Structure 1
């Protein structure tokens, strides 16, 4: 069995959705479970809906959601003839699921409402893809992954209950392959035992596919993207980026840890645990070899560059000039865990600690307020974090020229520079 994941870029237009049957027909007679992300910028659009709702702007939230509705109905009309009415009814059920919430007033944390609204994107895209594949002669079974992936209630970053989820996959998903060779489902989302929708973190569709791959002992997982494979840098930021034809699990985990957007940070572990190879291929030209990720050693890699903008530096200084030491660091990590933020870089001195974080304003404010009980706190925004794996002096000099360096951490293999 194979696991395929199609990202938002591969289903962001009528023309691109029409390419999917040709890709799938290259694997006749094989059992394939297909995980599909929300279309294009749908997740961003739904985030704005959730924000407007939570801020009390009900009419604005409904107006923004109407735009999402219209775009998906228009896509469906262009793609379908025979199956359109059935699909429209399915889409309107999901519209109603969101609108029922949007007519209410928020009484819970934002993250809860975020998940209830944003999850609709994957449900809409997969319904359209499934109906189009069926109309194209590719039989398939559509499933709501919220009925399969049981999670905790840590909204926006939910943790999967592997035992319950594994049982549901065995009892409810695998039997469907007796009816069709193809199953279509959603990435990124799950549900609690109370049937409240959850999300697995941004870009979590890769992780969804990896969980399925692990639970069904897949022969491989393929992520179909709009790039030729894994690159040594973001080609939108670095036009001279080159493809990496081969990587191992460890290297990809390091890349993900430092913020590379090609593979979700949690994706590799379920695959590595069972030695399942991961392929990154281009849906625009399926004949290209792409990148294979496995457990073998890989040598001679070029510099791998990750550039993260919108970084925040939180500077903590002991109030009485006592050493920070292990106690201060332990308190800091406890605070980071409480507000659920991951440091991108930490540097400590005798009486101070400096922490670089992604700019999530509400959580940064909570961290600063909590830390103020222990430290003097200063916050600086608008910074850029450069990470280079397998760096050399020329590349480092070129990428830091004309920038003011704030912090640097450097080993023989990796260098990180926080810059203004």
Structure 2
């Protein structure tokens, strides 16, 4: 048993869906579970539908959703002949689920409606691809992952109920050669849709691999493997052929857009190797991620933009002790805010985090009960793993450094651009 995961870029056109079929044909004797994301920018488009609906703009939401519908129907028309009607019927059931909701009035929190609407993207893509594969002679069984992955009701970042999910997946996955299902989504005990956090399809694939004791998990991307930096931002990037689970967790924590942060633990727990390979050229070796320790890694660079620095100063010049710091971390938990860098002084705490607009402002307002608060936005956070002082100076030349932290393996620099 092997688990494959194909992201949105791998299925964002008719040509790439046909390429997916070609990749699967390279594994004729393997039992495969294939996790597939929404096509291209579908998730972003459905987010706009959810926002319009929640703002009370019903007609705009329906119009936006109609555009998404037509895009998927057009894709199905280009791909399918004999199975088009069956695919249309399945898609229409999913369309109806969303449209029924859009004709209602929002009475619950936004995150609930987000999950009910946005999860449709994965259902659309997998339905079309499953019918295309069958028409192309690749037999498969389509599964609705909402029937398999059971979660709590923490919408947009749901936690998996492992015992229930394990039982359902093992009951459903039998001796079939190829199963097609969705990433990113699940459902509650009340059958309400949930999502596992953005980019949660990697995590879904790891959950299946863990529960099924898979031989391996392969994530298919449009790059040759894991690079030491984002090629869109840095020049002369290089492929890292081998990484440890620990190193990838560190990279993900610091913001590298390679593997979802929650993906590694289910694999590490059962020592299941993770391969990152290129769907455009499957013959390339890619990157293997496993439990072995790596040495002599190249410097790894990560930049996170849109950062906010929240500076919290003691209101009466008393030391920042355990009680106010504990209250601050309680706020992080309550607002579901993850910090990227924290530095504590005698009478102040500086916190760098992703600027999420309202949440950042909510944090500042709530923290003002214990601190004098100042916020600076529009900053950038550079993280260098396995670097040195010379590299740091080169990469920060011409920048105004706001905050710096370092450990033997990692240097982090928060900076602002000089106008």
Shift of 1:66: 1.1
Shift of 1:105: 1.3
Which stretches in structure 2 are left out of the alignment for 5+ residues?
A: none
Instruction: Report the Cα distance in structure 2 between the residues aligned to 1:187 and 1:270, rounded to whole angstroms.
Output: 15
Deviation by residue 1:117-159 (Cα, 9 ceiling, x = unmatched): 1101111111111111111101000011011100001111100
State yes or no: 1:64 paired with 2:60: no
State yes or no: 1:334 paired with 2:333: no
Instruction: Report the Cα distance in structure 1 between the residues aligned to 2:299 and 2:324, rounded to whole angstroms.
Output: 35
State the TM-score, normalized to the length of structure 1.
Answer: 0.98
Which stretches in structure 1 are left out of the alignment for 5+ residues?
A: none
Task: For residue 129 of structure 1, give the secondary structure of its aligned residue in structure 2.
Answer: helix
Shift of 1:366: 2.1
Deviation by residue 1:278-317 (Cα, 9 ceiling, x = unmatched): 0000000000000000111211111101101111111111
Shift of 1:247: 0.2
Match of 2:114 in 1: 114
Shift of 1:394: 2.8
Match of 1:88 in 2: 88
Instruction: Report the Cα distance in structure 2 between the residues aligned to 1:53 and 1:320, rounded to whole angstroms.
Output: 46
Instruction: Report the Cα distance in structure 2 between the residues aligned to 1:78 and 1:394, rounded to whole angstroms.
Output: 54
Instruction: Report the Cα distance in structure 2 between the residues aligned to 1:78 and 1:239, rounded to whole angstroms.
Output: 38
Match of 2:147 in 1: 147
Deviation by residue 1:83-111 (Cα, 9 ceiling, x = unmatched): 11110111111111111111111111111
Between stretches 270-279 and 86-95, larger displacement belongs to 86-95
Instruction: Report the Cα distance in structure 1 between the residues aligned to 2:353 and 2:67, rounded to whole angstroms.
Output: 33
Match of 1:226 in 2: 222
Between stretches 185-194 and 47-56, larger displacement belongs to 47-56
Instruction: Report the Cα distance in structure 1 between the residues aligned to 2:303 and 2:3, rounded to whole angstroms.
Output: 30
Task: For residue 21 of structure 1, give the secondary structure of its aligned residue in structure 2.
Answer: helix
Instruction: Report the Cα distance in structure 2 between the residues aligned to 1:128 and 1:239, rounded to whole angstroms.
Output: 38
Matching of residues 66-215 of structure 1 within 5 Å: 66-171=66-171, 173-175=172-174, 177=175, 180-215=176-211
State which of 303, 315, 319 in structure 1 corresponds to 2:315. 319
Matching of residues 248-327 of structure 1 within 5 Å: 248-327=244-323
Instruction: Report the Cα distance in structure 2 between the residues aligned to 1:100 and 1:239, rounded to whole angstroms.
Output: 49
Shift of 1:393: 2.4
Instruction: Report the Cα distance in structure 1 between the residues aligned to 2:152 and 2:49, rounded to whole angstroms.
Output: 24
Deviation by residue 1:138-183 (Cα, 9 ceiling, x = unmatched): 1000011011100001111100000000010111x223x3xx3000
Instruction: Report the Cα distance in structure 1 between the residues aligned to 2:137 and 2:164, rounded to whole angstroms.
Output: 34
Deviation by residue 1:10-39 (Cα, 9 ceiling, x = unmatched): 001110000112111111121100000011
Deviation by residue 1:62-92 (Cα, 9 ceiling, x = unmatched): 1111111111111111111111111011111
Instruction: Report the Cα distance in structure 1 between the residues aligned to 2:22 and 2:83, rounded to whole angstroms.
Output: 19
State yes or no: 1:394 paired with 2:390: yes
Instruction: Report the Cα distance in structure 2 between the residues aligned to 1:125 and 1:398, rounded to whole angstroms.
Output: 44
Match of 1:413 in 2: 409
Q: Structure 1 stretches (4+) deviating beyond 6 angstroms?
A: none
User: How many pairs does the alignment contain?
Assistant: 416
Instruction: Report the Cα distance in structure 1 between the residues aligned to 2:72 and 2:322, rounded to whole angstroms.
Output: 53
